[in-house]
Homo-oligomer: A and B are copies of this chain.
């Protein structure tokens, strides 16, 4: 359990980057962050390295780290990668979907629809998407998809936060329905459309 300090810093910083609280291009100065978390700069370095590994920051040796930019080209790239990998995951996931896992996913769907603000919705949306793919049982694939979701989330915050309104997501319901009847092709086509649309 004992969460390491670097873990804490990583979680906080990644959340701030996702929400846009830390803007793209911003410098991440080690001792500033260290002071903010009342620690030394060593665990800060570790947290920054992990940000880099997840594509949220980029290091230029001896010149420090910056929050990565999020240009439209990369947004499109992330969407295409998500289409490729999530359809793969969904194939396995549909096969392995148990009633229990389906209930978890449907609860996540309801929670997502009931979200009362953008950050809450975004977090629950990610939970939903993870729930429908987790049963695929391919950890490396899921991990890669998670990273892509983080990039997508940054884009969602950057472009949709002001316009966000509570609403029922019919795509989510349709995906659940397709999973229930183990209709892989229906689930896949809805998910693909959903991923492309939500950009």
Contacts and interface: CB of A to CB of B under 8 A. Distances in A.
A88 B78 contact: no
- Assembly stoichiometry (copies): 2
Interface in A83-125: 84-85, 87-88
Interface string A1-39: 011100100000000000000000000000000000000
A138 to B, nearest CB: 5
Contacts of A88: 80-81, 84
Contact of A81 (B42, B53, B85): B85
Contact of A42 (B42, B78, B80): B42
Interface string A130-146: 00000000111100100
B53 A53 contact: yes
Interface stretch (A44-52, A153-161, A172-180, A190-198): A44-52
Contact of A53 (B7, B45, B50, B141): B50
B141 A144 contact: no
A77 B2 contact: no
A147 B110 CA distance: 36
Interface string A60-82: 01100000000000100110110
Given A81-B144, A84-B88, 4 more contacts: A4-B62, A53-B53, A78-B140, A81-B140
Interface of A: 2-4, 7, 42, 45-46, 49-50, 52-55, 61-62, 74, 77-78, 80-81, 84-85, 87-88, 138-141, 144, 151
